[in-house]
Chains A and B, each alone.
Chain A
Amino acid sequence: MGFFEEAKYIIKQNIREYGMYIALAVIMIIFTISTGGLFISSRNISNLINQTGYIAVLAVGMTLVIVIRHIDLSVGFLAGFLGAIAAILLTRTGVPVFLTVIIVLVMGLLIGLFNGYLIANVGIPAFVATLAGMLVFRGALLLVTEGTGTIIIPNKSFNAIGNGYIPDIANIPGVHLLTLILGILAIGFYIWSEFNTRQNKLKYNFEVLSLKMFVAKIIFVSLIMGYITWILSGYNGLSWTIVIVIIVVAIYHIITTKTSLGRHIYAVGGNPEAAKLSGIDVSKITLVVFGSMGALAALSGILYTARLQSATTTAGTLFELDAIAAAYVGGVSAAGGVGKVTGSIVGALVMASLINGMNLLGVGISYQYIIRGAVLAAAVIFDVKTRNKRK
């Protein structure tokens, strides 16, 4: 097989997976051209990613929820409510930031577990249980912010979670050195892990990419990683939000692809009956998934509150739908059992790029909603069409 034939074959085989990356690239290129390069500027990309953070962490959790054939509508206002709790803890009780974060995360976890309990053990449909939760948390958010209205948070280290950047080790104007170094380390790690995987496969005598294709792939991905690093280092460097999102995605990616727990989650989504008869505790998996969703909702609330430097009475409105849309755009299947955490992140970035790009172009809000809806529909149509083809 020649080089280009192999490339063609690989793309054809993985069109579903690559489709989103290609879509993201196309969207970014279109906006870059139409804004005369403004879109791809360091400052804008940095902002764009930071704005996506609180939806991205929700989309990660939502991916698993949808994979096991459920839905969680409560996460938006849960995030808003827990953000307000964080604000209250910080401003009125003087709990230190570190402890505040822990308390809020644990609260989210417990609330998520309670949702999971209602769904897995009591047998309430997830749509209804979490719809109830949505109303309850909306009320709860209003309740705690009623007296004061918006709660301003004067705490600098808390606000840094949503606005701050990692410190630099040297003072070079225009370049964030630590970001560059971390980026290079990440590229090194990527190349090492690719080689490692290849070496292991060869040990088992499995088929691998031809050496040419392998090198081409590594160079391609490394260049992209390098470019992103370069852009980010051009404006304040890595933000704490990005660091948090990367850590969350890495953890969930590893859990879903490399552990038994991950396999069990996909098995429950693929066929709950079969999973049960294979010795998998379906209720436990449901509890774990909703528990994690709750904790991530708490994290989302912290990121959002820190970004606004305040807790507002409407915080969290429609977050859940943005997260669900990101997951669907990212290739998660509503029929269950299919969908990647990384895909949902790309989905979140696609949606965020659309908003950001259209804002730069001055597209009216009415058209923005219509276009976002059309993109969501198109993504799902693409997904369904390519799936039928593979049969």
Chain B
Amino acid sequence: MSDYILEMRNITKVFPGVKALDNVNFKVKKGEIHCLVGENGSGKSTLMKVLSGVYPYGEYKGDIILNEQIQKFTCITDSEKAGIVTIYQELALIPEMTIYENIFLGHEIKKGRFIDWNETVIKAEEMLKKVKLKINPSIKVKDIGVGRQQLVEIAKALSKNVKLLILDEPTAALNEDDSENLLYLIKELKKQGVTCILISHKLKEVISIADSVTVLRDGKTICSIDCDKEKITESLIIRHMVGREIDDIFPKRRKKQFGSKVLEVKNWTVYNPILGREILKDVEFNVRRGEIVGIAGLMGAGRTELALSIFGNPLGYNIKGDLFVMGNKKRFFNPKDAIKSGVAYVTEDRKGNGLILIDDIKSNISIANLKALSKQGFLNENEEIKVANEYKNSLNIKAPSVEQKVGNLSGGNQQKVSLGKWLFIKPNVLILDEPTRGIDVGAKYEIYTLMNELVEQGMSIIMISSELPEVLGMSDRVYVMSEGKIVGELPIEEATQEKIMELATN
């Protein structure tokens, strides 16, 4: 018997106009954790979609060999029968259903023609035990956190007798605790004989967990590294991913000069009427001209809520406290007010509430500032194209034209469009919420460089980030939030990952 549970040989997949996969070879040993890394658009997801039957046999060239047999999957059900289960970044759970209903959705346990609910609950408990989740299976999925939902997804996979588990960026939306928990669980599953393919952008995670690493670039296999034989490092992987060495992930700023306070909040207490509780308590912070202020904290610490409550409060919280912009006391009743005062907010969820995916680049860039393109109420569409092209060039948005639909762009380029939209309102204060989430190393570097340029020109940036290296690498000052409060303010010289985590978890 061969050591390999899976071999994908010379896989080629062509989309109209693009060769997404070009003779890719990919081998996974039985019982290992195999990490698949690569920049956005390198073909990782396409490869996994070929494997799981989303792109059926015949639409690609090459062979999939599972347990020494050539497989011809025509749909996801086929691959699931063979024991391959994929868990996507966007979880496929039904929020309004209970945990046990979700776990057995699609392969319900039946007695005769009807569902056997008692057996379902018992089996669900069994599966939850396997993923070390102590929770009542009758709770609705919408009522548990995203970290636990992830575990429910895995329990669902286990209930399908999974042999080969594919996890697509499972920790992208998780905080450090939940991430660690999940990685621990993956190791546990390995002991139980489940082979796992993990797609991840977080290289630290990859190094800590991988038995093998395969790097894809531009639809080709660049290398496969066996971690027992070869020592892997972040810079090694990055070098393979981008084909160049990034000596310094965080570009240095030429000058650091801070002016007066541009934005400040005092005694900022925010009540969320939907949750029925205070989500922010007595928050005080400020940002000066030409400064990047980092806001660190775990998921759920209230960072995004803080940003939204400042940015015109679109979710209708009850707010007490004072907001000062350029030294003047202000109240924003909606995002429009905030925009007028030169405050911009680049959302963490660019697909959900940042961009209009069905619209093109130019109308996404112009939408928050159409006034600047209008004369007597009429839009100058040529001016719009010109402006959009300027941002396309200065932000290095990779697209054939500004008439390209934003939904067709890669994550990094979407983020750049999102930035372009907010830079076009010429803000004084730019609030960036997870500015580099889910985008590749090259695009990250470009965004960091841009941030430096902006503050050098006198803008102020508030950066909310869950990635500590990013917070430490880019900020001039760091605030740490926990449970709706600012629990610490650190000058960058004093800030370390350990100190921040200590504050955030206390």
Chain A interface residues (CB < 8 Å from chain B): 200-201, 203-204, 206, 258-260, 263-264, 266-267, 270-271, 273-281, 335, 337-338, 390-391
Contacts and interface: CB of A to CB of B under 8 A. Distances in A.
Given A200-B382, A201-B382, A277 B356 contact: no
Interface string B372-411: 0010011101110110000000000000000001011000
Given A263-B363, A267-B367, A281-B334, A258 B378 contact: yes
Given A277-B335, A277-B345, A278-B368, 8 more contacts: A201-B382, A203-B382, A258-B379, A259-B374, A271-B357, A277-B311, A278-B335, A280-B336
Contact of B357 (A270, A279, A281): A270
B382 A206 contact: yes
The 5 closest A-B pairs by CB, nearest first: A273-B353, A270-B356, A279-B336, A260-B370, A278-B368
Interface in B358-375: 358-359, 363, 366-368, 370-371, 374
A171 to B, nearest CB: 41
Contacts of A203: 382
B334 A259 contact: no
A277 B347 contact: yes
Residue from B339, B353, B386, B407 whose CB has the most chain A CB atoms within 10 Å: B353
B379 A260 contact: yes
Nearest to B338: A279
A259 B353 contact: no
A247 B430 CA distance: 44
Nearest to A335: B358
A276 B222 CA distance: 43
A335 B356 CA distance: 13
Interface of B: 311-312, 314, 334-336, 338-339, 345, 347, 352-359, 363, 366-368, 370-371, 374, 377-379, 381-383, 385-386, 405, 407-408, 421
B380 to A, nearest CB: 9
Contact of B386 (A204, A276, A335): A204
A260 B371 contact: yes
B264 to A, nearest CB: 22
A29 B369 CA distance: 46
10 contacts: A204-B382, A260-B374, A274-B355, A274-B356, A277-B311, A277-B314, A277-B347, A279-B335, A280-B336, A335-B358
A258 B384 CA distance: 12
B421 A278 contact: yes
A331 B350 CA distance: 27
A240 B263 CA distance: 59
Contacts of A260: 370-371, 374, 377, 379
Contact of B385 (A204, A263, A271, A274): A204
Residue from A201, A271, A276 whose CB has the most chain B CB atoms within 10 Å: A271
A263 B378 CA distance: 11
B377 to A, nearest CB: 6
Contacts of B356: 267, 270-271, 274-275, 337
Contacts of A258: 378-379, 381
A259 B377 contact: yes
Contacts of B367: 263-264, 267, 275, 278, 280
A281 B314 CA distance: 10
A222 to B, nearest CB: 23
B279 to A, nearest CB: 18
A196 to B, nearest CB: 11
B357 A273 contact: no
